[in-house]
């Protein structure tokens, strides 16, 4: 029997997930069958158009009506509408898949985590980069002990869409609507990836020192004469120490000219090192214990994670394939009543760390998450 | 009214095109509506399973029954079955989209070209790499004269799936079934790309010198005790001279250890240079007239070819997106009764050049295509 | 009249500078003539051998006898012997060229700076990486305003010679002898480079947060049964804020497996970006205001800094050439009675920042240098 | 007892070798002692100035007077003056080190080879790129069988100093003075490197097909109103077949915009692959039998060829170091009465192949060297 899916949100993430759902049958025949059942939004006209484009059977302007009608509820709206519908759905016993970051504030994230803990269904936080084949392959190397003990972690997420002071104001520049800027939007990805890759080997991040920076204080409002205040960071930097003593550095920027979506992570262990860059997401750089330098691996072999579902070796995948993989895993977990990770718990842990970065920025001291 | 599509072939290419058709509505809303109408094959059981997986309404083991029932006929079978159904379809006035290379022999390719010339409908040869955004962007630079006069073209397609002498024999190792080896399979792509990029500026390839090489003469047959003869090339090299005097070098290999799908093309003009590699298909290396070195451009901006249909800047595309783009263009041409390129004429011209490479290999002399 | 040079120290740095002196006449004919006059050390036998190898006329075990006999005194010994001879030489009116870092402690560095301020002769601190042609070229771009306002600086110096816990103890692992570990040895280079490149545009580093880490607490003593304590850092990380509000991140490691001498610096401005890596020291990556990505510039043209003294375009230079360039500049300043930079003042400023990193590590707070 | 060296030629190559001789004592203490004895040239004034700059004791305008006064005679003049003095020196029993290519014509090269065969002293042809540590390391890998049987060789040498049609005419554009253009100047290097690396494993090049191209037919004469004809190639391409059946492609260009000194060689074997680029001469890309991609090796470890003579790991060498290494080997052979390679025999073999490329270009057929 097919799973009915309800999705709140029909912009960037709505499309990315709808596309993923649409592609599952052809490439992951063992995934649960699904119906794109109801698309939820506020603007009826835009909603109807989106439902048509994204292949949904129904629309609704009331998420509350949808959450117990569907077999899984996807919350893909802006950060500030993550909590209420997600919690309500979980309380109704409906599995939830929520975009990242979990919530605009740590308190709200905690409520969501608690709701998930009380529910008996999967509650996933959609950190899609865990599902890049090269990242899964890297995780396998670390789990197999190929890197030895983890000593250093380095994560960076560079974009440049706000280089220009005249780039227009958007909700992503508002603390109220977005929670934070580069830190929450980009840093959440980096911290989740670091936890995924290094967390089992190095433990949690035990303390951080952080710095947030807004380079452009106000930005023009598109189509209007006025400017509006930028109340979030354009960039952040952070240092970290792990439970096992490993060190970490993290940063993100929306003003790093020349970088579009340059999410990199690098890990040094006692026996080897790894480097990954999202702009070349089919590749992993791997320094082996018996190697002399980094080996550039094109992670597109049939034996690589998820690759046999797609194309022959060397036929590279794109960014959107990560959504197919995460939907496959989430929906399989829903069907089988199994755990899915990254969970709300994972999302909360990420936010504990981001929150600590913010607190450290305010206090000028190292703080524990 | 939707276009009914019939597809012959349901393996690698069948899946690549079916996937492309399935993705058009969400990402190219101005593409014609289509029905995946009939899937054609020989083995009824496998065909039924494939039709289910690839989303076809009907199946047929007789292409002859299908060609005038559909609004476009896709011939995605092995090379040796390209000609008859394609010609029949064209004679029936049905648009045809045929995989590359056009035919196992130049004579057959000529018949197909002639059939296309006599027909009043699009006859496309599916060289998908023309539809990589970075390649379209490169073509724009050349057309705008940014490279000046074209002087040198360099194309190379390296794979390594036949490095091992114990890699099993397949139809791709048979002259009878495949026509040629690396030359036809890989070289066809390179020559088409070279024609597309440099052809308007440098003219056609006027003469070539070629060399074909089979490194492993016989290969084991999977599941059997015997070996079978390899009657095609494992690798070829070629030199070329263009009508405008530009020089070219081309090569392909299936035994280039460390290379999975490494299709590169490089062009030097009087004012600049370009480099492209399929394994990093979102990137273009561009040496501008006023630059000092190659600039690495991530061709994922909204203003780049086809990109606005997909994701924001820096969210990289994969190999399969080229099929969506070419299907969009082909089906738009079918709907609008317009020309589509690469056409059968283009495919024939590619094969004239490949044939000249083979003739040159036999004669030890430069030959004209 | 030739300048008589006295050099204290005949190991790694002694050789690097002696080689540089030996090469000046052929490549920098307008440099002052020099005599490699006296080599200073403690072990007479080793000293005699070194003097022969490095081309010195005399040897001495007493630096005090040498400092007023020569026209310039090079202090290339270990950090803990930098101060006394350098100060004495300056007090004697002899120009001094001292290896980096200036001193093992900030107090000592301050004394050296003061001695230099009181002297009327050049006192240079030998940060050779300022003299890489690509770095000088980068500095020119920044000075010309090509990057606009500086917003972000990122410096990293990765080595791996201490990855193995069994790598033997040396004076570089001792706080008493070396002052600090990766921080002073490698971080000094990075901070100097950052000051050189970004200092005029972004001002000084106004505050830092730092973290030092020793991964291997004791190491075996070569040729003995015992181990000795490691009292310096194996790695450090730091965040910084500049006077103009720019942010910085800095780090170094001696345990970054796969990295031999990987000193990188990256700068983002409002109009462009730069990247440099010491392991590819002939190259500069430059994102121009009107460019779409980083351009890889081989900085070996005749018009590039220092290059016309060497070879035609594309004939790459090595690490040691930086010493020739800095000796050329230092000795020209000595001859002409002009200022030389990096000066003791520069060296002191670097150490103020490194000291602040250490203090921050101890206090867990951001501190001002 | 020191070896007296006489050098004919004091421009680019004269300086490169003089510098190498000057550096031997400090870095290769076991090299023979040498005197830079006599510098030979035609223009007395320029010669005197050069002798001063390059450190020679004497000058002479008559090579014939010099060849039996010295212990080794270096012929570093333009190609067309290689033969007569070299042969005379060999007949006088004086070891000769001659720049590449050996001679402007194959006949002359043969005479030189014969003179060398009759002499009982080393006759070296100065192909310096054999002496890059990364190349020596690569040769070691091949000799150790790490690549298995050699199947494909690919060599390319790209420069761009003649991109501009207004770049002035020089002797390098004259067939009479230079013998050939890109083919002899650059192709000689590539073919020698290919022979060095692959020759023992794959045998000699058995046949070639070549193509020469002059893009700019006449060039302005500097400081004059007139233009002069270009009688050599701006670029060549070639295909090759080795004795063992391996295939090769070779090319060079002086009009490859964006490439300064981009000499690359790549080799595929049954068990692995290698890639090298002169612009990154400290690096070797190596695909091992048990690897998944190319490993980027910084060939600067103490255990790497020649490296222990220089600096610690990661302190990169430059182009000129290759001259130090080759002089070390040549002079050691002179002192010890041993063979030196690349020899005149090697130089002749290279020219046989280049000559075959030219003959093939003329005949339009494959030819044997």
Omega prior to A159 cis, within 30 of 0: no
Omega prior to A101 cis, within 30 of 0: yes
> Closest Cα partner for B141 from B329, B297, B286, B334?
B286
Q: Which of B293, B294, B297, B299 to mutate to test the interface with C (most CBs of C within 10 A)?
A: B293
The pLDDT, as a whole number, for residue A179 is: 85
Strands B235-242 and B247-253: antiparallel
User: Nearest by CB to B364, which of D268, D293, D366?
Assistant: D366
Q: Indicate yes or no: CB of C268 within 8 angstroms of CB of A245.
A: no
Residue-wise pLDDT for B329-358, tens only, equals: 999 999 999 999 999 999 999 999 999 999
* Strand order across the A72-75 sheet: A58-60, A34-40, A3-8, A72-75, A96-98, A123-125
Residue-wise pLDDT for B306-316, tens only, equals: 999 999 999 99
Q: Tell me how far apart the alpha carbons of residues B179 and B83 are, in angstroms, rounded to a whole number.
A: 13
- Sequence-distant (≥ 6) Cβ neighbours of residue A341 within 8 angstroms: A124
- Sequence-distant (≥ 6) Cβ neighbours of residue B159 within 8 angstroms: A314, B182, B186, B252, B253, B254, B256, B259, B260, B261, B262
- Beta bridge partners, B215, equal none
User: Nearest by CB to C260, which of D259, D260, D298?
Assistant: D298
The answer to whether domain D132-319+343-363 has CATH 3.40.30.10 is no
Tell me, what's the ipTM? 0.96
Average pLDDT, integer, range D146-151 = 98
Element (H, E) at A324: helix A321-336
Its CATH class, for the domain covering B129-317+344-363, is alpha beta
Residue B252 near residue B183 (C-beta atoms within 8 A): yes
Please count the residues of chain A: 369
The residue to which tokens 């792990």 are assigned = A242
Which residues does chain A have with pLDDT short of 70?
A: none
Residue-wise pLDDT for D92-114, tens only, equals: 999 999 999 999 899 999 999 99
> Closest Cα partner for A154 from A80, A38, A246, A253?
A246
pTM of the model: 0.97
The pLDDT, as a whole number, for residue B231 is: 96
Query: Helices marked H in A175-298 — which ranges?
Result: 175-178, 182, 188-202
Residue A137 near residue A144 (C-beta atoms within 8 A): no
Radius of gyration of chain A (CA): 20
> Closest Cα partner for B151 from C324, D214, D285, C5?
D214
Q: Tell me how far apart the alpha carbons of residues D254 and B200 are, in angstroms, rounded to a whole number.
A: 24
Query: Helices marked H in chain B — which ranges?
Result: 12-27, 44-54, 63-66, 83-91, 106-118, 133-143, 175-178, 182, 188-202, 321-336, 344-363
> Closest Cα partner for D326 from D200, D205, D189, D202?
D189
Measure in Å the smallest separation between the Cα of D294 and chain B Cα atoms.
6
Omega prior to C101 cis, within 30 of 0: yes
DSSP labels for C125-155?
E--GGGGSHHHHHHHHHHHTTTT-SEEEEEE
The pLDDT, as a whole number, for residue D179 is: 85
- Name the CATH topology of A130-317+344-363: Dihydrodipicolinate Reductase; domain 2 (3.30.360)
Residue D224 vs residues A142, D169, D175, D232: alpha-carbon distances, Å: 68, 11, 21, 21
Of B1 and B13, more confident: B13
pLDDT of residue D223 exceeding 90: no
What is the location of CATH 3.30.360.10 in chain D? Answer: 132-319+343-363
Q: Tell me how far apart the alpha carbons of residues B237 and A75 are, in angstroms, rounded to a whole number.
A: 55
What is the location of CATH 3.30.360.10 in chain C? Answer: 129-313+344-363
> Closest Cα partner for C317 from B302, A280, D321, A133?
D321
User: Nearest by CB to A295, which of D293, D298, D301?
Assistant: D293
What is the location of CATH 3.30.360.10 in chain A? Answer: 130-317+344-363
Neighbours of A120 (CB within 10 A): 8
Q: Tell me how far apart the alpha carbons of residues A215 and A290 are, in angstroms, rounded to a whole number.
A: 45
> Closest Cα partner for A268 from A173, A168, A149, A117?
A149
CA-CA-CA-CA dihedral for B57, B60, B64, B69, to nearest 10:
-20
User: Nearest by CB to A273, which of C249, C257, C273?
Assistant: C257
> Closest Cα partner for B357 from B209, B240, B219?
B209
Residue-wise pLDDT for B290-307, tens only, equals: 999 999 999 999 999 999
CA-CA-CA-CA dihedral for C297, C302, C305, C309, to nearest 10:
130
Percent of chain B with pLDDT over 90: 96
Residue C20 near residue C41 (C-beta atoms within 8 A): no
Residue B18 near residue B54 (C-beta atoms within 8 A): yes
Q: Which of D161, D311, D321 to mutate to test the interface with C (most CBs of C within 10 A)?
A: D311
The answer to whether domain D3-128 has CATH 3.30.1060.10 is no
Strands A247-253 and A150-158: parallel
pLDDT of residue B227 exceeding 80: yes
CA-CA-CA-CA dihedral for D64, D69, D75, D80, to nearest 10:
10
Mark out chain C residues that contact chain D at CB-CB < 8 A. Answer: 12, 15-16, 18-19, 22-23, 25-27, 29, 53-55, 159, 161, 259-262, 278-282, 298, 300-301, 310-321
Which residues does chain C have with pLDDT short of 70?
A: none
User: Which residues on B lie below 8 Å from A26 (Cβ)?
Assistant: 15, 18-19, 22, 53-55
* Strand order across the B123-125 sheet: B58-60, B34-40, B3-8, B72-75, B96-98, B123-125
The pLDDT, as a whole number, for residue C320 is: 98
Structure tokens at D284: 């070797």
Residue A306 near residue A131 (C-beta atoms within 8 A): yes
Cβ-in-10-Å burial (0-12, 13-18, 19+) of C144 comes to: exposed
C-chain residue closest to B287, CA distance: C295
Neighbours of D69 (CB within 10 A): 15
**pLDDT category of residue B1 using cuts at 50, 70 and 90:** confident
Strand ranges (E), C235-355: 235-242, 247-253, 262-269, 273-277, 283-287, 295-298
Average pLDDT, integer, range B69-93 = 96
The pLDDT, as a whole number, for residue A190 is: 98
Measure in Å the smallest separation between the Cα of C297 and chain B Cα atoms.
5
CATH for C129-313+344-363 is 3.30.360.10
Q: Indicate yes or no: CB of A300 within 8 angstroms of CB of B260.
A: yes
User: Which residues on B lie below 8 Å from C298 (Cβ)?
Assistant: 292-293
Residue-wise pLDDT for A73-125, tens only, equals: 999 998 889 999 999 999 999 999 999 999 989 999 999 999 999 999 999 99
Element (H, E) at A8: strand A3-8
Per-residue DSSP letter, A367: B
Strand ranges (E), B245-332: 247-253, 262-269, 273-277, 283-287, 295-298
Residue D350 near residue D101 (C-beta atoms within 8 A): yes
User: Which residues on D lie below 8 Å from B269 (Cβ)?
Assistant: 257
Q: Tell me how far apart the alpha carbons of residues A212 and B285 are, in angstroms, rounded to a whole number.
A: 34
User: Which residues on C lie below 8 Å from A154 (Cβ)?
Assistant: 251
What is the location of CATH 3.40.50.720 in chain C? Answer: 3-128
Measure in Å the smallest separation between the Cα of D246 and chain B Cα atoms.
8
- Beta bridge partners, B263, equal B157
- Sequence-distant (≥ 6) Cβ neighbours of residue A326 within 8 angstroms: A20, A124, A126, A127, A128, A130, A131
User: Which residues on D lie below 8 Å from B163 (Cβ)?
Assistant: 270
């Amino acid at each position: 029997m097919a799973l009915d899916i309800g999705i709140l949100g029909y912009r960037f993430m709505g499309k990315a997930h709808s596309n993923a759902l649409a592609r599952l049958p052809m490439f992951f025949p063992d995934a649960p069958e699904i119906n794109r059942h109801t698309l939820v939004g506020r603007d009826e006209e835009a909603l109807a158009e989106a439902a048509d484009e994204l292949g949904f059977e129904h629309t609704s302007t009331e998420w509350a009506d949808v959450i117990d009608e569907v077999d899984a509820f996807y919350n893909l709206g802006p950060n500030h509408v993550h909590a209420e519908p997600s919690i309500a759905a979980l309380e109704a016993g409906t599995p939830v898949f929520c975009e990242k970051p979990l919530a605009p504030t740590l308190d709200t994230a905690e409520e969501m985590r608690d709701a998930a803990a009380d529910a008996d269904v999967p509650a996933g936080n959609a950190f899609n980069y865990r599902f890049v084949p090269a990242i899964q392959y890297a995780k396998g190397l670390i789990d197999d002990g190929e890197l030895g003990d983890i000593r250093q972690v380095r994560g960076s997420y560079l974009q440049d869409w706000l280089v220009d002071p005249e780039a227009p104001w958007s909700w992503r520049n508002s603390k109220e609507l977005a929670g934070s800027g580069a830190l929450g939007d980009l840093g959440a990805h980096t911290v989740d990836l670091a936890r995924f890759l290094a967390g089992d080997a190095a433990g949690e991040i035990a303390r951080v020192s952080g710095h947030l920076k807004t380079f452009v204080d106000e930005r023009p409002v598109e189509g209007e004469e006025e400017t509006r205040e930028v109340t979030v960071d354009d960039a952040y930097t952070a240092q970290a120490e792990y439970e096992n003593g490993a060190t970490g550095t993290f940063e993100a920027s929306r003003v790093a000219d020349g970088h579009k979506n340059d999410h990199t992570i690098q890990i040094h262990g006692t026996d080897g090192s790894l480097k990954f860059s999202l702009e070349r997401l089919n590749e992993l750089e791997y320094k082996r214990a018996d190697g002399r330098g980094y080996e550039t691996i094109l992670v597109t072999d049939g034996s690589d994670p998820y690759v046999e579902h797609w194309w022959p070796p060397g036929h590279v995948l794109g960014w959107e394939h990560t959504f197919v993989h995460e939907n496959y895993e989430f929906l399989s977990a829903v069907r089988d009543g199994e755990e899915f990770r990254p969970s709300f718990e994972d999302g909360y842990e990420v936010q504990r760390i981001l929150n600590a970065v913010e607190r450290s920025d305010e206090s000028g001291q190292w703080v524990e998450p």
